[in-house]
Amino acid sequence: MRTIDADAHVVEGIPFAAEALARWPDRVQVRQAEDGTPYFAIEGRRYPEQRGPGAGCPPQHGLTRAAGDPHTPGGVLADADREGIDQMVLFPSLGLGVGSIEDGAFAAEFARLYNRFVAEFCAGGEGRLFAPAALPLQNVGAAIEIAHEAKRLGLVGAVIPPALRDVNLDHPSLDAFYAAAADLDLPLGVHGAPGVHLPQIGVDRFTNYVQVHCVSFPFDQMAAMTALISGGVFERHPRLRVAFLEAGVGWVPYFLDRLHEHWEKRGDWIAGGWRRDPREYVARGNVWASCEAGETLLPAAVAALGADFILYASDYPHWDSEFPASAKQLRERADLGAEAKAKILGGNAQRFFGLA
């Protein structure tokens, strides 16, 4: 079976950081915490913020120790071979924070630097590595320009946060961007990250990163799905493809049922919003989601909604990845048929990202 990892990650590392530090010394710095630990600061804020409500992961604990050399294309390919992965789509690590940069012009330039970096990284991947662009959605005009640039760079999608600092994903100010993404055939991946200074649901109740991690990813995806479906984004932009990432897929049937109840009973309370059963957006190809290889509820999601919207994702090389045994778990599952496995392991990602 062709295996495509639909949500792995690039580690930007020292070369990217060094260029950012040299280019913007007044905005990007390495600082020292009270305990003497160095940290990366953008606009004076730590990335990721490791303390307080919504704390992110300390960088020294961010990567799985099972990975070989995730800092180079050759190292990533060697690790992919250990997993039996044919192609990988690399989402950002530090770059997930682009949407929280307050200066819109600087956010655009930071995104451009990241996109050139990741395009060059993938160019060293022997045709097996791909990546979405980072976009500054807080600066919609620039985000549209950068989306066009991303296509020219060969990037295969764009990553967006579950919510922006001041608006949800159904805000009318974002419609021009969604129209551009649909016209460019640029799929979007909704990807959260604790500690990058963007709104997150429920994390104000937790300061321990593990508790934050438990809560933030699924709840943020539910908020994003609520906005995009009930807010009518897929009605206004019916060719838009959006994947909800790194929260598993078990929550999707439950949450679509919940959305369905509200659409059925009080759908008309949202002016300009949804016009059909929320489950139809899955069948129509607007809604996709990643799964974890060993996820208990994966067969239930397939039974409820079919296998055509589910993407295999390893989260390599982050600490919670099951590398190097992630893909193997999915291939060897006895509770999924061969056709469903083939779609989830690679066929769906091929269609979503438009890979050859």
Domain 4-12+64-353, CATH number (from 3.40.50.300, 3.40.50.970, 3.40.225.10, 3.20.20.140): 3.20.20.140
Q: What are phi and psi of 310, to 5 degrees?
A: -100, 130
Q: Tokens standing for 274?
A: 């949804």
Q: Quote the DSSP letter at residue 318.
A: B
Cα–Cα distance, 232 to 227 (Å, whole number): 8
pLDDT by residue, tens only, the chain of 356 residues: 899 999 999 999 888 999 999 999 999 999 988 888 889 999 999 999 999 999 999 888 999 999 999 999 999 999 999 999 999 999 999 999 999 999 999 999 999 999 999 999 999 999 999 999 999 999 999 999 999 999 999 999 999 999 999 999 999 999 999 999 999 999 999 999 999 999 888 888 999 999 999 999 999 999 999 999 999 999 999 999 999 999 999 999 999 999 999 999 999 999 999 999 999 999 999 999 999 999 999 999 999 999 999 999 999 999 999 999 999 999 999 999 999 999 999 999 999 999 98
Residue 38: which residues within 8 A CB-CB, separation 6 or more?
Answer: 30, 31, 32
pLDDT on residue 186: 98
Cα–Cα distance, 27 to 52 (Å, whole number): 23
Helices then strands, each counted (H, E), the chain: 13, 12
* Four-CA torsion 68, 69, 75, 77, nearest 10 degrees: 50
pTM of the model: 0.96
Residue 142 burial (10 A CB sphere; 0-12, 13-18, 19+): buried
Cα–Cα distance, 48 to 58 (Å, whole number): 7
Cβ of 127: how many Cβ atoms within 10 Å?
10
The SS3 of residue 149 is: helix
- Contact in structure between 101 and 42 (CB atoms under 8 Å): yes
Residue written as tokens 């009930």?
230
Q: Quote the DSSP letter at residue 161.
A: -
User: DSSP letter string over 24-71?
Assistant: -TTTEEEEE-TTS-EEEEETTEESS--SSTT----GGGSB-TT-S-TT
Cα–Cα distance, 231 to 236 (Å, whole number): 10
Cα 23 to its chain centre, rounded Å, is: 27
The SS3 of residue 348 is: helix
- Contact in structure between 316 and 65 (CB atoms under 8 Å): no
